[in-house]
Amino acid sequence: MTTHRKLVPASPWVTLTATPADWDAAPAGLLTAMLHELLLIRSFEEQVLELAAAGLVHGPAHSSIGQEGGAVGSVLALTSADSVNGSHRGHHQFLAKALSHVAPDGLDLTSDVSDAVRAVLLRTLAEVCGLDRGYSHGRGGSMHLQWTDAGAMGTNAIVGGGVPQAAGFAWAHRQAGTDAVAVTYFGDGAINIGSTLETFNLAAAWRLPVCFFVENNGYAVSTAVEEATGEARLSARGPGFGIASWKVDGMDPLAVHLAMREAVAHMRAGHGPTLIEADTYRFFHQNGPFPGSAFGYRSKEEEARWRRRDPVDQVAGHVLRRGILTQEQVDVSRARAHRLMVEATDVLIEPLPGGKPGERRIRPSEWPDPAFVDVGVRGDLSELADARVLDRDTFTGQLADQRFIDAVAAVMARRMATDPRVLVMGEDVHRLNGGTNGATRGFQAEYPDRVLGTPICENAFTGLAGGIALDGRFRPVVEFMYADFMWVAADQLFNQIGKARHMYGGAGAVPLVLRSKVATGTGYGSQHSMDPAGIFATAPGWRIVAPTTPFDYVGLMNTALRCDDPVLVLEHVELYTSTGEGPVDDLDYCLPVGRAAIRRRGSQVTVIAYLSMVRHVLDAVEQLGTVDAEVIDLRWLDRASVDWDTIGESIRTTGTVLIVEQGAIGTSYGSWLADEIQRRYFDWLDQPVQRVTGGEASPSISKVLERAAFAQTEDVVARLSEIAEA
Amino acid sequence: MARLLVMPAVAANALEAVLSDWPLPVGKPFAAGDALATVETEKAVVDVPAEAPGVLLRTLVGIGDEVAVGAPIALLGDVDEVVADPDEVLARLGAAGSPDPGGPAPGSPARSADAPGLPGVRRFSSPLARRLAKEAGLSLADLVGSGPGGRIVRRDVERAREARAVGADAPAVVHADGVAATVPAVPARAVGHDAAEPGYADVPHTRMRRAIAERLGRSVREAPHFAVHGTARVESLLELRARLNGYGGPRVSVNDLVVLAAARAHARVPAMNVIWMTDAVRRYAHVDVAIAVSTDRGLVTPVLRGLDGMSISAVAVASADLVDRARSGRLREDELVGGTLTVTNLGPYGTEAFTAVINPPQSAILAVGAARKEAVVRDGELEVGTVMHVTLSVDHRPVDGAVAAEWMAAFLAILEEPVRILA
């Protein structure tokens, strides 16, 4: 006879309801602050809808009207030291954090507000309209609101895309020895996406002080939450991951506030992450000024039912009931909120000259300069100003032959020892005597808090590292066991980390190093053998280095770690076991950004290569013996850092270019380089830019098929022979 | 089946030609051999004949447009063919976008379909070779490409430069060839400052004017000219001509006799039947001689071929045909190339004697003056004779003075004993 015993999750899962006694006990200052933030955010959102209807907001304007209670109630339980980030529907989240930052003692609309409050309204509205005075100079707009001074780390247009970063903020708070916490706001639509679920697991495993705040408004655009999941009580996810979870009425700002206070206490006490599900409702459709019922996925009756529980009215009712404010004061506050928004609008908008009555336009002076379009894709490298930059020709220390992998481990050990900001993370980096290749040998024992062996979830741990980088106090070094895993982490690498600086205005640093192992030729097959350089080269924001010698590895890693941009450090397994010249005792120099190395002087053909193919090219030239090739080791591969001086000088000598890489042609690196070369040096070319690449398919497991799929010495020999005969 | 009509390769080395007329209206059926388009090259106006019957569905370029050789210029269909969507057809035939001057990769089937004969006409050269040639003042037309598909590459320019340096006497000159695309578009009308009182008129260059200027300028700059003069008594020649024309056959001109006499002299002095090339002097087995014909548009030089095997009446017929078609602009391109010598005759204008500029790549030009009565000394006695002054301008690169003198002596002897012309 089988027996059954009911199991209970290790973490609590509760609903919390605010009682009349709670309303009576709430401090007057809390309720007035709550009311005034709600009124002002409501006015802001009404103004945005009006501008959107007039065609003055470019792109979607996701209204938070109806949902303000969750954000306001929860933010009032935080301080400016705490971080938040949010979703595409994030005006209320951002404004609640920003207003609480500039009015720490509670916003008060019964009398005139401070310039700081006006500035928040104006800059936020300007950003929503895509204007220069916005926090990100209009680049971010409605969906990318960031003001890091206020702890508002950025709202996000990828559903769930900001969630892993919040775990990174939380890690940084804890590592810095503070009790600050991070809150990430997202909707019911994001509860089912991998980024979110992976981060639940990661945060719980590492007991990070992060709150997952789910604004469950019942609909992902028009798909009802009940259609999208078998457990529509979304806070039920928490206990499954070991996360303490609350379910609360999101239309009741006090209930949300009380739940958040409990969650914050839990996190500040070091008990790990929390999850709050606030049931709420957006009064309008996904975006724009029409109700959802106009699109047929819900009824007017349902909308009327929720509107009767408007959070603004609920808080106003209790404030009046308790005699904290008079009706007249509430009316004054409501009118002031409206007037503040009209004033902000008038700064940005003017009547259309010669237009019909009521027609308006953006004041021309408010637009950003179109020349600003690419400014700040990457930083200006001023952070390297005081670095000890040298190259092989100016290095005066002792050099000796050493194994490449030993240089990898040595320079990282040196940085871990000298710079407490540096941390390493990745799968198995803390075990196996230094990860799968020995690159982090001995780190775990020395720096257990900065060596993070991750669960298998590239997207979440990459995003977590991205959050640490955005926070800025620490410098994460992420290791990918295989380069192909970049596709698994693609959202975080390309949509988030690569774009963050530019998207949020061009000024914010994103200091992150990604060490990515290229394992072509090891028999790991179609999904573990790619060279990611070509893909990363298409992604603005990233810098790419490809060290080929121990000396270069040390200098390039040091530069990468000082750089305020995300830097991909490519490492080829073929090089790990190679031996080359490296520094004996100086592990502190930096190599210059954007300088290639000429590995062989020649006059007949310029061969451009990187990573393991540099050695194969040199071997090929020697084998052939008949072609006087100049061999350039690029070292820096991204569009901003390619050494055109060296390449150009060589091409003007040889008139012929061969770009050599190992991997498949589809994702090849050389395609963009060839394009750029033919335009820059057309009149210097004696034949088309030539290429050596692998085939179209990914390398297979079968040894002979694998060998046929990628390029090696003999492919270079063959192509050089053809070039010589051409 | 709808098909494209492409700009034909009517001129050696020409990268483009001007569509000068559409003789047929769109929609009108045509028979095989009907002229579909009229194309003007630097040297001739050529009708493009239909290969098969059909109908002109659409013209793709306008009158006066300069079009790359091989580029589509019209869409043709079969008679009675209904083409619902010409744009779709054009897109399918690959003519929707701008024509790709490089063409598809060698070996791809599209090449022969889209651009018949293109590789044989267009001279490929690498960007570097073009730049180096320009800097060195070398004409791509004079270079032989040794790269893939005959592409002129750096080493070809360098070899030519070295060869010229060995030659030493060639002056440093700067010009470019084969870069017609860089020539500014010709304005459609004369340009004046002020319609009221311009004081002058700028007549824009025609392509032919440009070609004459370019070719003869190049000749003067590159070919070191020297001249040998000769005077022949031509009573016998004129008498022979009168007798020939008395038989009622094709009318023989003095010039026909002079041309054939020159051909005979070439046969006697083969060292004159040559042209200069970068790496070699080319000697010809047969004798081809060009005749200079002035036309409304300028000078053209059609070539009489195989003169060494021709009778005087055949020469007369052939030259009359060439002159006639030259003046009506109906010469074929292949009739304008070749030969080692041009005969230019200003006798009809009464010119006594003159010197002409060699028409490259030929090595000589014979300037023929009028036959006129002069005082001549014969056997120590002064008498009146009918004489003709001739001047042979010679390219000193392939031909030395002694050879030219030998030729002139032979030529004069033939003129004075003209029956040898008929031999």
Least confident of A311-320, A645-654, B109-118: B109-118
Q: What share of chain B is helix, strand, coil (3-state, %, to 5)?
A: 35, 25, 40
Residue B184: the pLDDT is 35
Instruction: Report the gap between the CA of B80 and the closest CA in chain A (Å).
Output: 46
Strands B303-304 and B289-291: antiparallel
Query: Tokens 């310029």 sit at which residue?
Result: A606
Contact B147 A655 (CB under 8 A): no
Query: Tokens representing B313?
Result: 């009446």
Q: Which residue has the higher pLDDT, B102 or B31?
A: B31
Rounded CA-CA distance B18/B362 in Å is: 27
Per-residue CA distances from A243 to A9, A273, B377 (Å): 9, 6, 129
Catalytic residue positions of A, numbered: 528
The predicted pLDDT at position A378 comes to 97
pLDDT, tens only, A125-168: 999 999 999 999 999 999 999 999 999 999 999 999 999 999 99
Q: How far apart are CA A590 and CA A585, in angstroms?
A: 14
**Residue A124 identity (one-letter amino acid):** T
Measuring CA to CA, how many Å separate A176 from each of A316, A468, B14, B41?
A: 40, 11, 75, 80
pLDDT of residue B163: 81
**Range in A228-232, A392-396, B51-55 with the lowest mean pLDDT:** B51-55
Average per-residue pLDDT for chain A:
96
Predicted local distance difference test score (pLDDT) of residue B176: 35
Chain A residues closer than 8 Å to B128 by CB: 655, 683-686
A244-258, B35-49, B246-260: segment of lowest average pLDDT: B35-49
Complete DSSP assignment for A581-599 = EEESS----BPPTT--EEE
Cβ distance A683 to B128 less than 8 Å, yes or no, reads yes
Q: How confident is the model at residue B34 (pLDDT cuts 50, 70, 90)?
A: confident
Task: Summarize pLDDT for A474-523 with one digit per residue, the tens.
Answer: 999 999 999 999 999 999 999 999 999 999 999 999 999 999 999 999 99
Are A460 and A164 within 8 A, CB to CB? yes
Q: How far is A658 from chain B (nearest CA, A)?
A: 16
A526: pLDDT confidence band, cut at 50, 70 and 90?
very high
> Minimum mean pLDDT among A15-19, A105-109, B119-123: which range?
B119-123
Cα within 13 Å of Cα(A89), Cβ side: 29
B54-59 and B29-30 strand pairing:
antiparallel
A683/B127 CB distance under 8 A: yes
C-beta atoms of B154 and A684 within 8 A: no
Is A297 in the B-facing interface, judged by CB distances under 8 Å?
Answer: no
pLDDT in tens, B164-199: 776 544 333 333 333 333 333 334 444 444 445 567
User: A248, A278 in Cβ contact below 8 A?
Assistant: yes
Which has more confidence, A216 or B92? A216
Q: How far apart are the first and last CA of chain A?
A: 84
Q: Which two tokens stand for residue A684?
A: 């210097």
Q: Which is it for strands A210-216 and A182-187: parallel, antiparallel or unpaired?
A: parallel
Q: Which pLDDT score, from 0 to 100, does residue B78 have? A: 83
The SS3 call for residue A309 is coil
**pLDDT given at position B116:** 35
Cα dist from A536 to A490, A566, A712, whole Å: 10, 11, 22
> Taken in order A576, A577, A583, A585, is the CA torsion positive or negative?
positive
CA-based radius of gyration for chain A: 29
Question: Is there a contact between A684 and B131 if contact means CB atoms under 8 Å apart?
Answer: yes
The contacts of residue A313 (CB under 8 Å, 6+ apart) are none
Residue B246's pLDDT is what? 86
- By residue count, chain B amounts to 423
Check B126 against A684: CB less than 8 A apart.
no
Architecture label for domain A382-583: 3-Layer(aba) Sandwich (3.40)
Distance CA A226, CA B306 (A): 95
The one-letter amino acid at A640: A
Between the ranges A78-92, B56-70, B98-112, B219-233, where is the mean pLDDT highest? A78-92
Put simply, whether B251 touches A (Cβ < 8 Å) is no
Which of B131, B147, B151 lies nearest to residue A683, judging by beta carbons?
A: B131
Q: Which chain A residues touch B129 with a CB distance below 8 Å?
A: 686
In tens, the pLDDT along A598-642 reads 999 999 999 999 999 999 999 999 999 999 999 999 999 999 999
Inform me whether the pLDDT recorded for A345 exceeds 70: yes
CB contact residues (below 8 A), chain A span 655-694, against chain B: 655, 682-687
User: Is the per-residue pLDDT at B96 higher than 60?
Assistant: no
Q: What is the pLDDT of residue B173?
A: 32
Backbone angles phi, psi at B225, to 5 degrees: -85, 140
Q: pLDDT tens digit string along B375-397?
A: 999 888 999 999 999 999 999 99
Is B37 in contact with B21 (CB distance < 8 Å)? yes
Q: How many CB atoms lie within 10 A of CB B381?
A: 7
Lowest mean pLDDT among A573-582, A696-705, B349-358: B349-358
Whether A652 has its CB under 8 Å from any CB of chain B: the answer is no
Complete DSSP assignment for A219-258: EETTEEHHHH-S---GGGHHHHHT-EEEEEETT-HHHHHH
Mean pLDDT, residues A7-11 taken together: 94
Domain spanning B224-422, CATH class: alpha beta
pLDDT value for B77: 85
Asked whether A306 and A244 are in contact (CB, 8 A), the reply is no
Does B64 score more than 80 pLDDT? no
Give the separation between CA A679 and CA B404, rounded to whole angstroms: 52
CATH class assigned to A13-368: alpha beta
Q: How far apart are CA A547 and CA A568, in angstroms?
A: 11
Q: Which of B124, B126, B159 to mutate to test the interface with A (most CBs of A within 10 A)?
A: B126
Which residues of B carry out catalysis?
396
A597-725 maps to which CATH number?
3.40.50.920
The residue among B358 and B82 whose pLDDT is bigger is: B358
Listed in sequence order, the residues at least 6 apart from A445 whose beta carbon sits closer than 8 Å to its beta carbon are none
Instruction: Identify the pLDDT of residue B170.
Output: 36
With tokens 């398919």, the residue in question is A697
State the Cα–Cα distance between residues A289 and B138, nearest whole angstrom: 72
- Mean of the per-residue pLDDT values for chain B? 80
SS3 letters for B266-302?
Answer: HHHCHHHCEEECCCCEEECCCCCEEECEEECCEEECC
Query: Reduced to 3 states, what is the DSSP secondary structure of residue B368?
Result: strand
Give the number of other CB atoms < 10 A from CB of residue B268.
16
Contacts of B200 (CB under 8 A, 6+ apart): B192
Distance separating the N- and C-terminal Cα atoms of chain B: 56
CB A193 within 8 A of CB A158: no
Q: Which residues contact B205 (CB under 8 A, 6 or more apart)?
A: B186, B213
Give contacts of B131 with chain A, Cβ < 8 Å. Answer: 683-684
Residue with tokens 């996406």: A193
Residue with tokens 């195989």: B306
Asked if B36 contacts B75 with a C-beta cutoff of 8 angstroms, the reply is no
Cβ-nearest to B147 among A682, A685, A726 = A726
CB A145 within 8 A of CB A154: yes
**Is the per-residue pLDDT at A285 higher than 70?**
yes
Say what percent of chain A tops pLDDT 70: 100
pLDDT in tens, B98-107: 333 333 333 3
Chain B residues with CB under 8 Å of A682 CB are 127
d(CA A68, CA A253): 8
**Residue A93 DSSP SS3:** helix
What does the DSSP assignment read for B143-196?
Answer: ----SGGG-B-HHHHHHHHHHHHHH--SPP-----S-GGGSPPPPSS-B-S-SS
Which residue of chain A has the CA closest to B125? A686
Q: What is the pLDDT of residue B177?
A: 37
Report whether pLDDT(B277) > 80.
yes
Gap between the Cα atoms of A439 and A451, Å rounded: 12
Q: Which two tokens stand for residue B39?
A: 């194309």
Higher pLDDT, B207 or A569: A569
What is the reported pLDDT for B46? 76
Over residues B80-100, the mean pLDDT reads 67
Region B244-266: mean pLDDT is: 90
Query: In whole angstroms, what is the distance from residue A153 CA to residue B60 CA?
Result: 58
The structural domains of chain B, with segments of one domain joined by +, span 3-118, 127-209, 224-422
In this prediction, residues A670-685 reach a mean pLDDT of 96
Q: Is the Cβ–Cβ distance between A107 and A113 less than 8 Å?
A: yes
Contact B281, B275 (CB under 8 A): yes
pLDDT of residue B114: 35
The residue among A213, A154, A689 whose CA lies nearest residue A469 is A154
Whether the pLDDT of residue A367 is over 80: the answer is: yes
Other Cβ atoms closer than 10 A to A687 = 22
Within an 8 Å CB–CB cutoff, is residue A722 touching chain B?
no
Residue A261 in tokens? 């206070």
Which tokens sit at A225?
A: 């939450």
Q: Do B131 and A655 touch (CB under 8 A)?
A: no
What is the crossing angle of helices A91-102 and A115-128, to 10°? 160
Tell me whether A724 touches chain B (CB under 8 Å): no
From the options 2.40.50.100, 3.30.70.260, 3.40.50.10110, 3.20.20.70, give the CATH code of B3-118.
2.40.50.100
Give me the pLDDT at residue B167, please: 57
pLDDT at A559: 98
Q: Which residues of B touch A686 (CB under 8 A)?
A: 126-129, 147, 153-154
Whether pLDDT at A414 is above 70? yes
Of A179-193, A612-626, B298-312, least confident by mean pLDDT is: B298-312
Q: Do B154 and A683 touch (CB under 8 A)?
A: no
Q: Rounded CA gap, A661 and A691, in Å?
A: 8
Give the pair of three-digit tokens for residue A608: 């451009």
Tell me, yes or no, if the two domains A13-368 and A382-583 fold the same way.
Answer: yes
Instruction: Name the residue with higher pLDDT: B40 or B355.
Output: B355
Cis peptide leading into B119, omega within 30 of 0?
Answer: no
